[in-house]
Structure 1
């Protein structure tokens, strides 16, 4: 009887150890798989030109990620400085506002590098630039003195609208390998020529008739640059 029980107990012990080892191996494999997959989502904040941005990214594969990014910026009545026009000091006051929503795909062409190519569409909700120019000092012609109020002012407005293709490149994964990641990106939106408005008052009022010429001068402003530094949190 003992000859039968001892081999049976040994067999049960061997089976138990084998099952336990297989369970440990399975757990280790699962952990490695999860580690290999890494984190699949990320939230990012960016700063640069033309302003600030927040984004959400989703990892599709080892080489591709999708990103939704919202860019925004606003500045009002910024005194850009003085210009010298025909010996007269002219002050430039700048106001700008932008709001764009980007739908992007990021590609990592090299396995062990964070270099990336970015492409997609930018929905330009608002992108405006206004430059107000006015004489800083009085101007004298013989016995006649003209103050800056007499001259009036000149306002040039630029605005871009609609959907624009976007291409860019940079360094830094959309979804970092670790919890935090840093990146930089340079790109361009290819938009239509800006709509230009030209308004002038008082003695400068005749300048407004040159709006068509100004439109022709700036018709090549079809590329809108973007340059941003990004900090991302992966989860």
Structure 2
């Protein structure tokens, strides 16, 4: 009989402990929540493209992105009394790896840093007279005047990036909107300049233009971001 009295509290203790553990574990998991989250984002601006994001902590997110930008201009500009046709274009493509850091837990303010590999960075300009050009008593047709072409080629290179912004690439809600601005530091461009017909002497200015543009090593970034949490 005494043994039964000793065993009864022992079994009650085991039962109580089991119930406590089975209830406490889910609560701790639910409060902590998943520690790693994924997201994706669409960028619209000077470096349009998309990103995939992996949040490794509440403050730090890793981004892997792709940028593609192409823009062309076909217009006529007036210089004095003459019209000049301007054909210009910009092409850029790059892959990037960035770190998004939120220093304040309750704020969407962020710092961005990382590096991109620029696969293509090209600016091209072609200037052609639109109509006849009169010099003294002589009239020249556009074909006789010729044209001038200029290309600014950044080639293929790695470019570090720093920036600031607002908004999380892995938003707290399912969808979030953000803004970011910053700068890429890229290598000096290679200049190619040539002229045709009566403008052929413009090619002699290539070395001077190359020297003048050696410090064109900054690519501005200003984007709006639409982010979607994936989990």
Q: Same fold (TM over 0.5)?
A: yes
Counterpart for residue 109 of structure 2: 115
Are 2:63 and 1:67 aligned? yes
Aligned positions, number: 226
| Distance in 2 separating the partners of 1:210 and 1:60 | 52
Counterpart for residue 147 of structure 1: 141
Counterpart for residue 95 of structure 1: 89
| Distance in 1 separating the partners of 2:28 and 2:64 | 33
| Distance in 1 separating the partners of 2:215 and 2:17 | 73
Aligned match of 1:43 in 40, 48, 57?
Answer: 40
| Distance in 2 separating the partners of 1:15 and 1:122 | 59
| Distance in 1 separating the partners of 2:10 and 2:212 | 91
CA contact (8 A) 2:169 2:228 kept: no
**Unmatched tracts of structure 2, length 5 or more:** none
What SS class does the counterpart of residue 70 from structure 1 fall into? strand
Are 2:208 and 1:200 aligned? no
Counterpart for residue 84 of structure 1: 78
| Distance in 2 separating the partners of 1:144 and 1:12 | 115
What SS class does the counterpart of residue 33 from structure 2 fall into? helix
What TM-score, normalized by structure 2, do the two folds share? 0.87
| Distance in 2 separating the partners of 1:17 and 1:62 | 36
- Residues 115 and 48 of structure 1: CA distance in aligned 2, closer, same or farther (over 3 Å): same
Counterpart for residue 132 of structure 2: 138
Query: Deviation of residue 23 (structure 1)?
Result: 2.4
Query: Deviation of residue 168 (structure 1)?
Result: 0.7
Query: Deviation of residue 17 (structure 1)?
Result: 6.8
Query: Deviation of residue 159 (structure 1)?
Result: 1.2
Query: Deviation of residue 74 (structure 1)?
Result: 2.1
What SS class does the counterpart of residue 121 from structure 1 fall into? strand
Query: Deviation of residue 224 (structure 1)?
Result: 0.8
Are 2:49 and 1:53 aligned? yes
| Distance in 1 separating the partners of 2:97 and 2:29 | 33
Query: Deviation of residue 49 (structure 1)?
Result: 0.5
Are 2:209 and 1:210 aligned? no
Output one character per residue of 1:126-164: Cα deviation in whole Å (capped at 9) or x when no partner.
000101111112112243211212111111101113111
Are 2:24 and 1:25 aligned? yes
Output one character per residue of 1:40-76: Cα deviation in whole Å (capped at 9) or x when no partner.
11111111113x2111111121211111111002235
